[in-house]
Amino acid sequence: MFYLIQLLNGVQYGLLLFLLASGLTLIFGIMGIINLAHGSFYMVGAYLAYWLAKITGSLWLAIPLGLVIALAIGVVLETTLVSRLYKRDHLYQVLLTFGLILIFEELRSILFGDDVHGVAVPALLDYSVRLTDTLSYPVYRLFITAVCLSLAGAMVLVIHKTRLGMMIRASSSNREMAASLGVNIRLLFALVFAFGTALAAFAGMIAAPISSVFPGMGNQILIICFVVVVIGGIGSINGAMIASLAIGFADTLGKVLAPEYSGIAVYLLMAVILLWRPQGLANKT
Amino acid sequence: MLSALLLAVFPLIGTTFYVQLGAKIMIMAIFALSLDLLVGHTGLVSLGHAAYFGLAAYVLALISPKYEAASLWVTLPAAIVAAAAVALVFGFLVVRTTGVYFIMVTLAFAQMLYSVFHDTKLGGGSDGIYITVRPELTIAGIKPLDLENPVQFYYFVLLIMIGVYVLLSRVLHAPFGRALAGIKANESRMRSIGFPVFAYKLGAFVLAGALAGLAGYLAACQFGFVNPEILAWHQSGTVLMMVILGGMGKLHGAVLGAFAYVLLQEFLSAPALLGAYAKHWQLAMGSLIVLVVLALPDGLAGLFGHGRSFQRNDSNSASENLE
């Protein structure tokens, strides 16, 4: 039973990572932008959940409102800054988005202070499933798992079955060709970026009740997401899914077996994958 | 030449605070020089360079005896060798990746080292360790330099910085450096004419790691304290910013960038100048970084150098994302 709980935790953490990593990998795969500020969007989401839930009194109201704000942030950033980087070297993308991290962190510090905050689990989901006499599992975590799974499913459907998905796939493999066939690349890119931002913020919002809301939370998870993207292969949603779950398990298992060294487990996994398949699991060399 | 002379006479006029600040800047300049070898001359954008800087600092802290001075002749080589050895292991894994993978993987490995020092008790965990007595330099029983003395320490760092500068410009003009330039310009061409590209890149990576270790050792000497933040990715981002701010691919650019960045940071975080907002200096720094990226693609060295080229073509990046 103990291992069932760890398994469930691993899946839940892995799926949450997937929400973040899929946005990161899509933005890179389609737009060619490496976005260090992606972790900041996660943090923004968590703080939005904290702030809006305090104002409105309900996480259910906070989430849609927060999503609208996150989408707006995404559109503004894409049109004012990111769109100037498409033709620039990765180095400048790294620097500009590094600058954005500093800005987001300081704005967070000015607006919300440097304390750790908590967000209450919504009353509707605030109970546990009993597994044995002594062990139980919180329903809210199961809820996160379910939401992430349905989002992942929806994303795969959109990308592989819809007209929008077709345009996305077309412009990721050849931007100029897609543009000359009448795809509005500018609009599409703004959409993808805003969508990725919103996805990261959403992950932050639903994770807020279980992980608490604290300074620097975005950077910590960003680096794990990089590991996911490297393992899965850049631009691949399926790879991101496999890698997220692998990291979720590695991290959870590491925490159980060797708590002091659990932070290292995921990087060792990455080192092994790099030796074996430098281009990631999903991409063929 | 002129600037080296200016640096040499500076302690005669500056107060202790500024002499110490000067030494700190020159240490960061050595660090930036080592990164410029990778970013500016080999085309490897490392976002985990603080790992080697911080590791060497930790080596000094860990092997220094508690109440007496460690010997510089033992601790300095040990720190540099440790940094180079870790750079060799990490480099072996990361150099096989290119482009954006390289950026993410260097960052991830640096973070691995960070979590080693942050989560385990090896280096005092997140609290870090103090180095109570600075290492001492003795030659045949005589102490020519007292590193506890800020002015003497300043000259010691200045000498090392000049040494690193000369070493790197020699290396870059040697066949090894020309090969690195070739790899930066066109890697597959270099490979097809028979250069062992992997070995060259790994060599550059290890050399850069060793020099970053040298800078980290000096930093630990100066502050007398190490904690995990010294190898956090924030530090890696900062040194990358110095290289870009100064203008990459030009050695004097890295030095210039270190000076500009640290002075700017001192200015923005001085409560005397900016009052309550000094606490939030990173907001201004972040905005400045964004502006530099948008407006100054060639850095400060490009401003002063001949002809700014705003139209430089950096478009080789987008094509590699989906192959």
B81 found inside a domain: yes
Counted domains in chain A: 1
A178 found inside a domain: yes
Token code pair at residue A12? 């839940």
B91 found inside a domain: yes
With a cut of 50, say whether residue B90 has pLDDT above it.
yes
Q: What is the pLDDT of residues B49-67, one digit of tens each?
A: 999 999 999 999 998 887 7
Counted domains in chain B: 1
Contact call for B318 and A87, based on CB within 8 A:
yes
Q: How far apart are CA A232 and CA A255, in angstroms?
A: 22
In chain B, beta strands by DSSP E: 129-130, 137-139, 142-145, 225-226
Name every chain A residue with its beta carbon within 8 A of the beta carbon of B93.
Answer: 271, 274-275
How much is the pLDDT for B166? 95
A84 found inside a domain: yes
Q: Which domain holds residue B32?
A: 2-230
Mean pLDDT along residues B200-204:
96
Contact call for A173 and B322, based on CB within 8 A:
yes
Chain A residue at shortest CA distance from B120: A260
B304 found inside a domain: no
Write down the H helix ranges in B14-71.
16-39, 50-63
Do B54 and B87 form a contact (C-beta atoms < 8 A)? no
Token code pair at residue A138? 């919180």
With tokens 């401003």, the residue in question is B303
Do A74 and A48 form a contact (C-beta atoms < 8 A)? no
Burial (Cβ within 10 Å: 0-12, 13-18, ≥19) of residue A85: buried
CA distances B147 to A105, A140, A205, B13, B209, Å, are 37, 58, 51, 20, 24
How much is the pLDDT for A50? 92
Do B23 and B157 form a contact (C-beta atoms < 8 A)? yes
A262 interfacial to chain B (CB closer than 8 Å) = yes
Q: How far apart are CA B298 and CA B248, in angstroms?
A: 7
A8 found inside a domain: yes
Q: Who wins on pLDDT, A219 or B81? A: B81
Candidates B241, B256, B239; CA nearest to B304 is: B256
Burial (Cβ within 10 Å: 0-12, 13-18, ≥19) of residue B79: buried
Mean pLDDT along residues B104-125:
86
How much is the pLDDT for B323? 34
Kindly indicate the confidence band of residue B275, based on its pLDDT and cuts at 50, 70 and 90: low
How much is the pLDDT for B6? 74
Q: How far apart are CA A148 and CA A16, in angstroms?
A: 7
Nearest CA of chain A to the CA of B290: how many Å?
5
Q: Who wins on pLDDT, B142 or B92? A: B92
With a cut of 50, say whether residue B307 has pLDDT above it.
no
How much is the pLDDT for B48? 93
How much is the pLDDT for A266? 86
Q: First-to-last CA distance in chain A?
A: 41
Name every chain A residue with its beta carbon within 8 A of the beta carbon of B265.
Answer: none
Q: Which domain holds residue A262?
A: 2-124+139-276
CA distances A240 to A8, A101, B293, Å, are 19, 23, 30
Instruction: Please report, for the domain that includes residue A216, its CATH number.
Output: 1.10.3470
Do A199 and A70 form a contact (C-beta atoms < 8 A)? no
Angle between the A2-31 and A185-211 helix axes, to the nearest 10 degrees?
160
Q: What is the pLDDT of residues B150-178, one digit of tens each?
A: 888 999 999 999 999 999 999 999 999 99
- The Cα angle at residue B226 between residues B266 and B212, in degrees rounded to 5: 75
Contact call for B115 and A86, based on CB within 8 A:
no
Contact call for B283 and A106, based on CB within 8 A:
yes
Kindly indicate the confidence band of residue B215, based on its pLDDT and cuts at 50, 70 and 90: very high
With a cut of 90, say whether residue B119 has pLDDT above it.
no
Kindly indicate the confidence band of residue B224, based on its pLDDT and cuts at 50, 70 and 90: confident
With a cut of 50, say whether residue B303 has pLDDT above it.
yes
Do A77 and A10 form a contact (C-beta atoms < 8 A)? no
Helix %, strand %, coil % for chain B, to 5?
75, 5, 25
A133 found inside a domain: no
Nearest to B321 among A32, A96, A275 (CB): A32
Query: Residues 58 to 77 of A: which have CB under 8 A from any B CB?
Result: none
Query: Residues 19 to 48 of A: which have CB under 8 A from any B CB?
Result: 28-29, 32, 34
How much is the pLDDT for A284? 58
How much is the pLDDT for B310? 40
How much is the pLDDT for A86? 85
- The Cα angle at residue B237 between residues B291 and B298, in degrees rounded to 5: 45
How much is the pLDDT for B302? 67
With a cut of 50, say whether residue B319 has pLDDT above it.
no
Contact call for A29 and B318, based on CB within 8 A:
no
Q: Who wins on pLDDT, A282 or B115? A: B115
How much is the pLDDT for B198? 94
Chain B residue at shortest CA distance from A279: B97
How much is the pLDDT for B305? 55
With tokens 């969007």, the residue in question is A41
B314 found inside a domain: no
Using left for φ > 0, alpha for ψ between -120 and 50, and beta otherwise, residue A216 falls in left
With tokens 């992997």, the residue in question is B198
Listed as ranges, residues in chain A with pLDDT below 50 are 285
How much is the pLDDT for B315? 40
Nearest to A264 among B112, B244, B290 (CB): B112
How much is the pLDDT for A114? 86
**Average per-residue pLDDT for chain B:** 85
Percentage of chain B beyond pLDDT 90 is: 47
How much is the pLDDT for B125? 80
A132 found inside a domain: no
Residue B133, CB-side half-sphere exposure with 13 Å CA sphere: 14
Q: Who wins on pLDDT, B306 or B14? A: B14
Query: Residues 232 to 261 of B: which have CB under 8 A from any A CB?
Result: 233, 237, 240-241, 244, 248
B284 found inside a domain: no
